Structure 1
């Protein structure tokens, strides 16, 4: 009689297995929603950055099929270029003056709009006028100010002069800095106005009872309450202003005689005017490093604030 061998039945699924599957699905579900965005960021940000960093250590890239590894030669070439040094100095002047002016003007207008001495109608009118520059794009701002500052423009007509504001080597850098100040202060004004409206009135009342005058209340009550906002706005504006390109390119193009050349326009000209993509990549990497330093301090401040 042939013996029949019966295979053992598979072990029954324990209650823990479905529970583990559900737990895995719940933990993986957010990554599924984020996957398209992460893939897009990887394609449009990570890969280009890696390629540019690689190009900065090579020569004969993009247009040549035989790129050569040159190490840090490109960095030496760029860092010793007189135009790069001029662009760096112009960028520092343009950025620092713009950020300081944005802060001072924005805070002044914010305190004006927050003052109880102005009625509701006047406050609404002033708010609309002050925020107007923020509504324009860089292209509109550049065209508008080129028309106003033309030799036969409104500004020269009012001043009864014929100054070449954007073509004069002595005035061009100050002029584009003024235009950037005019275009950027509303961001500070709106943010600081929101901060001023959040300052408890009891603090000012207590300071008044203690005998503090208006300046003392401003310096010892208002500024400490606004300090986190001021630091955040300043760091963000430093990053944005140091990378300003559209306004400079559409007003002066970096001229005349490189007096308004910025790091952004310098990098653009290396790539698309001289077709030296390796040097342009090197300049872009240097700008990236500077921006990452500012971004590090911004993130550090935000963490400390939280």
Structure 2
């Protein structure tokens, strides 16, 4: 693990390694060029929006579905059926998810056909090719693919909450919302914080889904830090700048990982 990291750090302070036969030490010039790149602010903003919206939606959907599956109002057969349906997105690889949604969101795809049939639009929408909808579309796809992780974890947490707490709350006259606010959420808080911190790290580094659906386009509307770094290396052949960008992302990820590890240690 440390050898490739050290090599990339070394690349970042050299004059365009790999394509340059005799690279020279240039210090932090590559970092300066990356920081002054006009595309970087867009990539940072897109990554922030993509990550924040995805994490919040993952949490809300995961909690809603977990509570639904944990309720006694549904029969065992119905609950089992919904468990299978809700966990399906988790079974697909990123490649399958990307292909599936590219077909569904195609101008001639099922979703546009349904919208046209309902009279909500008069022509097919270019969901992944339009600057107005591309970021929304890839964010939605990521939400769809990621909520089962929360659902399964929160369902396990819900099933571990002692029933005595709810019975005592009912005796005290607490409403359903009061029980949720004063018992369910505090009991789930450690799980929610742990999953959210992990999800921020994973989502901010999402590459395959973005690359296979929009490639960071159109006109940088879905450009993320991951695709920005990839293009520096394999589209522009600026391997030193790509290495510098990778090192900066590594530092940010390390900071997030530090807080996660610190929280886990405090929790233990």
Q: TM-score, normalised by structure 2?
A: 0.96
How far has the Cα of 1:71 moved from its partner?
Answer: 1.4
1:32-72: CA deviations, max 9, x gaps?
xxxxxxxxxxxxx1110001111111213122232111111
Select the residue among 18, 24, 28 that pairs with 1:62: 18
Q: Does 1:156 align with 2:118?
A: no
Identify the residue that residue 119 of structure 2 maps to in structure 1. Answer: none
Q: Which of 50, 56, 64 is the aligned partner of 1:108?
A: 64
2:101 maps to 1:139 = no
Q: Does 1:262 align with 2:262?
A: no
- Structure whose alpha-carbon radius of gyration is higher: 1
Residue 211 of structure 1, CA deviation:
1.4
Distance in structure 1 (CA, Å) of the matches to 2:79 and 2:64: 14
- In structure 2, how many angstroms separate the alpha carbons of the residues matched to 1:223 and 1:303? 21
2:40 to 84, 102, 124: 84
> Are residue 204 (structure 1) and residue 166 (structure 2) matched?
yes
The question of whether the paired residues in 2 share the 8 Å contact of 1:78 and 1:283 is answered with yes
RMSD across aligned positions (CA): 0.7
Q: Which residue of 2 aligns with 1:182?
A: 144
Q: How does 1:1-306 map to 2 (within 5 A)?
A: 45-160=1-116, 161-306=123-268
Deviations 1:235-277 (A, max 9, x none): 1100100010110000000000000001111111111111110
Cα separation, 2, equivalents of 1:92 and 1:61: 30
CA deviations 1:110-167 (Å, max 9, x no partner) are 0000001011000000000000000000000000000000010000000003100000
**SS of the counterpart of 2:157?**
helix
Would the aligned equivalents of 1:60 and 1:66 in 2 still touch at CA under 8 Å? Answer: no
Give unmatched runs, 5+ long, in structure 1: 1-44
Structure 2 unaligned blocks of 5 or more: 117-122
- Contact between 1:99 and 1:234, CA under 8 Å: does it hold in 2? yes
Distance 2:113 2:213 in 1: 20
CA separation in 1, counterparts of 2:73 and 2:192? 25
State the alpha-carbon separation in 1 of the partners of residues 16 and 61 from structure 2.
48
Which is bigger in relative contact order (C-alpha 8 A, separation at least 6)?
2
**Partners in 2 of 1:211 and 1:300 — Cα distance?**
38
Comparing 57-66 with 201-210, which one deviates more in the overlay?
A: 57-66
Q: Distance in 1 between matches of 2:245 and 2:23?
A: 18
